[in-house]
Chains A and B, each alone.
Chain A
Amino acid sequence: MSVVTAHAPRTRRGVELVLLALALLVAMGAYGMVGVAVDGAWPPGLLGYGAGLAALTGGLHLVVRWRAPYADPLLLPVATVLNGLGLAVMHRLDVVRDTGFASRQLLWTAVGVVLAALVVALLRDHRVLRRYTFTAMVVGLVLLLLPLVPVLGTRINGAQIWIQVGPLSFQPGELAKIVLTVFFAGYLVTARDTLSLVGPRVLGLQLPRPRDLGPILVAWLASLGVLVLERDLGTSLLFFGLFVGMLYVATQRVSWIAVGLVLFVGGAVLAWSLFSHVQGRVRAWLDPFAPAVYDAEFGGSYQLVQGLFGMADGGLIGTGLGQGRPQTVPYAESDFILAAIGEELGLVGVFAVLVLYLVLVERGLRTAVGVRDGFGKLLAGGLAFAVALQVFVVAGGVLRVIPLTGLTLPLLAYGGSSLVSNWMIIGLLLRTSDAARRPAPVADTSGTPVAPSVQDASATQVVHL
């Protein structure tokens, strides 16, 4: 500690650029391979597609350089490669099914990336969001309830999670994910001290005080409400899991997880015993190969089983893009895009996608660890955890770890609302990670070395632990 040298923390923007170029190369390569496999030639739209994606993400990179120079360098490339891979798979499905998902998804990508850039450019400090805690609550609830409004809400495949305005349909639940994370973060950072107080000790577990159970019960009831009214298992699971996770991070009390699990199991049993669509999902999960379940007209396991067949056919290295039959699986471009990847890119491809998500989530959590304010920690941690939960719920459904639910893989799967919302999450994480890695303002301008800010930051962390 005798010699203290000042060094400017590296921004790592160069790393981001190189990785971004790699991500674009992977995305374009995948897109091109589809053409090579199907037509034996590079697809004519390849350059346009590559240029479009490069311009969008390159633009975001520039905005990050300008407004958030210390942002985490992995977030943008990972999001880009996931988005690009999804586009390639969609293009591959379009080719064989004569549909137009990829071009629409590219359009939504543009909207999403622009919105992410706006978040980075306009939101100069993530702590500003804390001011809108209760606005966020109201907006979040409105978004959740919107699909239930007559005329506006539409029911697609049994779940009422869409709204339809003219030709546009939107899944407000995806946006609600962000808004409610803001609310949870703002609320919990205020209430965490109260919620951390301990109550009775049962079986060696320090339970919270009964009077503090209010918020978790409200979240639980809201989730059940979503399940009952909108018949959406995935959204319900996601919100409750997110709330419990953030509650745990805020209070450090394992007992909240225990309470959450008990409530979850109770809710699950309740839902299972009351609703036939939940029973159908569970049956299709437990015994998908039974002919009666497989052939069931509604709520059967046809989709799940066809997805499993596809992935089994892909094996370790896959059939290669354009050489399998992923179109056999209904909704291969959205809910079952992982099955399509498993079939054509093999177990290797599935692992790659999962690892990419893991990197994304862990960088988000790393941001939460690094950022100095409690609200930022909860916000970044919550957003990252939301992505992780969503991936687990969707991939777990496709891989038969848990019953199938109606969510899609973030950034990868087809869906405008989901894509836009997840790019906004990337924007928020970029913004927060910039705050996490940015050196503390140097007060002394005389040039005398001061305590390096990196150590400062870590010291702060130790204290806050």
Chain B
Amino acid sequence: MNAPLRRLSVLVTALFLVLMLAATWIQSIDAGRLRADARNSRTLYAELGRERGPILVGGEAVASSTPVEDAYRYQRVYADGRLYAHATGVYSVITQPTGLEGARNDLLSGTSDQLFYRRLSDLLTGREPAGAVVETTLDADVQRAAAEALGDQRGAVVALDPRTGDVLAMVSSPSYDPDELATHDRDAAAAARQALLADEGDPLVNRAIAGDLYPPGSVFKIVTAAAALESGEFTPDGLVPGPAVLDLPQTDTGLPNSNGRSCGEGDQVTLTDALRISCNTAFGWLGMELGGDALREQAAAFGFGEPLSVPLRVTPSTVPAEMSPPQLAQAGIGQFDVRVTPMQVAMVSAAVANDGVLVKPNLVRSVRGEDLEVIEQPEPVELGRAVSADTAAQLTAMMETVVERGTGTAAQIDGVAVAGKSGTAQHGVDPGAEPPHAWFTAFAPADDPQVAVAVVVEEGGAAGDEASGGRTAAPIARRVIQAALDR
């Protein structure tokens, strides 16, 4: 009976080898995937237990970890939380991290593969492993100016450096206090979250990049004008039709100007003046004349429809496909189903400001280890040419007239040439019944642009029905530009 016993022992050894292989698979080869599974609470606990790197604005920590005596060991605290809430996001024990906390989670928490050698040296030297430091491109003064100018009104402000794509300000209003969500008291955090979710102002939503998309209204006329100039068939001084009411084919209703008057003598107006006074009929006519493809292609050149990560995810803005002539006329003035984020509108201004070249917006200046060694330092990324340099120069000149003596005079700054465009966007099922969204986008100085901004004030803000882009949003843009130029 010894031979079968020996074979049995071989079989047993084989069975145990299978077990060892399975254990190796789980604990070594497949371990990364298992650790990354959202249902694996250990990963969260491990992250929470590690000293998370801070998020900096201008060298000051706006999110940092302080040691506490509880199971998580470190409490995330937010200095000036409401001001930066939508940029930093929240590192919470009850939800996935949001904002930069989420987008750069692996670096902040110190689990990124980019930190592999650091972790190895931590292991060998016995140093407590810590997360990386994320420095943002935000400018504290510009951010504060934007938030203060917007005040209690619902809306958003984005300020970009057109040359580098640096996001100087990103404000969404109303905001929230991230500390309430970051508390380790799970019940309190959950209650705070429920309250914020129930708040009809949707304070958790980052309106600047990821809210419900807005109709752009007349700020979209920059795109229509760009398409017209790029087509080669129009010049800034050339005349286009600008009647009081534009006849729309296939319908009984026409497209009227907001003041009900003709835009120029003989119902004709130059392209420059059409933009300056925001002539709806001229741009409606241009929309039909240029066609859907030209509008969409021009919009795409400015970044519409493209997924974008700054590294927070930006919802792509849209220009609808397959439009009828009346819909094209509406789209030409930024109505119908054209939908944008404030970030996208700022990108349009930034591209015009930067001689027609669109630079990718970016919120992260650098990522450094604790010893300040650079781990990641994003260089400006050119997304492409939105318009030719000539067109950009022409658009700049046209937008300057808007601020000088058009609908955007409220954005004037002494001694600085500001180029801008207002927008007053109707929205909702019954346009006109609800106060319009007030828009303003601008850049300055026009001859050497250092900042491009987009402002939206939802439903007219404090002004309500009386609101317009020029009256309501332009002063906010002015304050933000002023703060940016004072840097």
Contact = CB atoms under 8 A, between A and B. Distances in A.
Interface of A: 245, 248-250, 252, 289, 294, 305, 308-316, 324-325, 328, 342, 346-347, 350-351, 354-355, 357-358, 361-362, 365-366, 368-369, 374, 377-378, 381, 385, 388, 391-392, 395-396, 399-401, 461, 464-465
A399 B28 contact: no
Nearest to B27: A347
A308 B26 CA distance: 7
Contacts of B5: 249, 365, 368-369, 377, 381
A309 B3 contact: no
Contacts of B32: 312
A313 B35 contact: yes
16 contacts: A289-B37, A313-B40, A313-B43, A313-B46, A328-B42, A354-B23, A358-B13, A358-B16, A362-B13, A366-B9, A381-B1, A388-B16, A392-B15, A399-B23, A401-B19, A464-B1
A350 B6 contact: no
Given A325-B45, A362-B12, A312 B23 contact: no
Contacts of B39: 294, 305, 309
A3 to B, nearest CB: 28
Given A309-B42, A358-B16, A374 B8 contact: no
A315 B28 contact: yes
Nearest to A347: B27
A312 B30 contact: yes
B41 interface: yes
Given A308-B34, A316-B28, A347-B23, A401 B4 contact: no
B121 interface: no
B27 A358 contact: no
A316 B27 CA distance: 6
A310 B34 CA distance: 9
A309 B34 contact: yes
Contacts of B40: 309, 312-313
A325 B27 contact: no
B16 A400 contact: no
A328 B45 CA distance: 12
A314 B27 contact: yes
B23 A311 contact: yes
Nearest to B31: A312
Given A354-B16, A357-B16, 13 more contacts: A249-B4, A250-B1, A294-B39, A309-B34, A311-B23, A313-B35, A342-B26, A388-B12, A399-B19, A400-B26, A401-B18, A464-B2, A465-B3
A2 to B, nearest CB: 29
Contacts of A313: 31, 34-35, 40, 42-43, 46
Nearest to B3: A465
A289 B269 CA distance: 65
Nearest to A394: B19
Q: Is the interface of B mostly helix, strand, loop or mixed?
A: helix
A464 B5 CA distance: 13
A311 B4 contact: no
Contacts of A357: 16
A374 B19 contact: no
A311 B20 CA distance: 13
B238 to A, nearest CB: 61
A366 B9 CA distance: 9
B8 A311 contact: no
B24 interface: yes
Given A249-B8, A392-B16, A465-B3, A342 B35 contact: no
Given A294-B39, A354-B19, A357-B16, A347 B2 contact: no
Interface of B: 1-6, 8-9, 12-13, 15-16, 18-20, 22-24, 26-28, 30-35, 37, 39-43, 45-46
The 4 A-B residue pairs with the shortest CB-CB distance in the complex, in nearest-first order: A312-B34, A399-B22, A312-B31, A309-B40
Contacts of A381: 1, 5, 8
Contacts of B42: 309-310, 313, 324-325, 328
B20 to A, nearest CB: 6
B15 A346 contact: no
Nearest to B32: A312
B2 A399 contact: no
A457 to B, nearest CB: 12
Given A312-B27, A312-B30, A313-B43, A374 B16 contact: no
Contacts of B27: 311-312, 314-316, 342, 346-347, 350
B12 A312 contact: no
A313 B42 CA distance: 7
A461 B20 CA distance: 33
A253 to B, nearest CB: 9
A252 B46 CA distance: 54
Nearest to B46: A313
A396 B34 CA distance: 18
A365 B16 CA distance: 15
Contacts of A365: 5-6, 8-9, 12
Contacts of A350: 20, 23, 27
A385 B34 contact: no
**Residue among B15, B33, B37 with the most chain A CB within 10 A?**
B15
Contacts of B28: 315-316, 347
Contacts of A316: 27-28
B1 A374 contact: yes
B69 to A, nearest CB: 14
B23 A342 contact: yes
Contacts of B1: 249-250, 252, 368, 374, 377-378, 381, 464
A358 B12 contact: yes
A249 B4 CA distance: 5
Contacts of A245: 8
A248 B12 contact: no
A138 B35 CA distance: 50
A312 B40 CA distance: 10
Contacts of B35: 309, 312-313
B472 to A, nearest CB: 47
**Residue among B3, B5, B13, B28 with the most chain A CB within 10 A?**
B5
A328 B42 CA distance: 9
Contacts of A328: 41-42
A377 B12 CA distance: 17
A385 to B, nearest CB: 6
A347 B24 contact: yes
Nearest to A313: B42
A188 to B, nearest CB: 10
A381 B9 CA distance: 9
A270 B47 CA distance: 47
Contacts of B4: 248-249, 252
Nearest to B13: A358
A82 to B, nearest CB: 15
A342 B27 CA distance: 8
A396 B30 CA distance: 17
A400 B30 CA distance: 13
A396 B12 CA distance: 13
